[in-house]
């Protein structure tokens, strides 16, 4: 820009007012909307997986070469449940904006599920930010009916 024949530089400053990345909540993320009871229920299911796998392994070893049909059915049912749990956690990891590397978590959940699923639950489900406690970085759609009613009555 020229003023009185002298070139002057323009300085443009952009200010970004944001919460640190580790407390961000994504718009499509579901875990921060969960209450402590839901998180504990998921944790109970998560930590029961390795326990059930251990019991089934001991039962299979104790049965010898001819396992009972009940044991085979229980093992098959556990494998289906574990695959479903792994898919849920992969979906949770795909939504989480606080992860530094989604690919690493996805690989860990697929390749080392019995170890990485409880670790992911503790690190990113139990300790996820909770909506409505002042630790989110903006409006997140999907409030429950009690909040919507409270807001409607306040107007």
pTM of the model: 0.64
Name the most confidently modeled range: 20-24, 38-42, 137-141: 38-42
Find the mean pLDDT for residues 129-155: 54
Cα separation of the two ends of the chain = 49
Longest CA–CA span in the chain (Å) reads: 97
Residue 122 forms part of a structural domain? yes
| Tokens coding 73 | 């059915």
By residue range, what is the domain housing residue 45? 27-134
Residue 139 forms part of a structural domain? no
Alpha-carbon separation of residue 110 from 6, 116, 119 (angstroms)? 64, 9, 13
Find the mean pLDDT for residues 7-28: 54
Task: Quote the number of domains for the chain.
Answer: 1
């Amino acid at each position: 820009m020229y003023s009185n024949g002298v070139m002057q530089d323009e300085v443009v400053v952009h200010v970004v007012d944001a919460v640190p990345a580790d407390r961000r909540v994504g718009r499509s993320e579901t875990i921060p909307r969960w209450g402590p009871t839901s998180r504990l229920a998921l944790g109970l299911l998560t930590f029961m997986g390795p326990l059930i796998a251990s019991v089934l392994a001991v039962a299979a070893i104790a049965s010898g070469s001819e396992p009972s049909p009940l044991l085979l059915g229980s093992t098959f049912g556990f494998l289906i449940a574990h695959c479903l749990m792994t898919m849920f956690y992969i979906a949770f990891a795909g939504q989480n904006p606080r992860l530094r590397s989604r690919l690493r978590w996805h690989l860990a959940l697929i390749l080392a599920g019995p170890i990485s699923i409880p670790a992911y639950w503790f690190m990113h489900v139990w300790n996820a930010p909770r909506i409505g406690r002042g630790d989110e970085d903006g409006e997140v759609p999907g409030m429950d009916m009690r909040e919507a009613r409270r807001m409607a009555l306040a107007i």
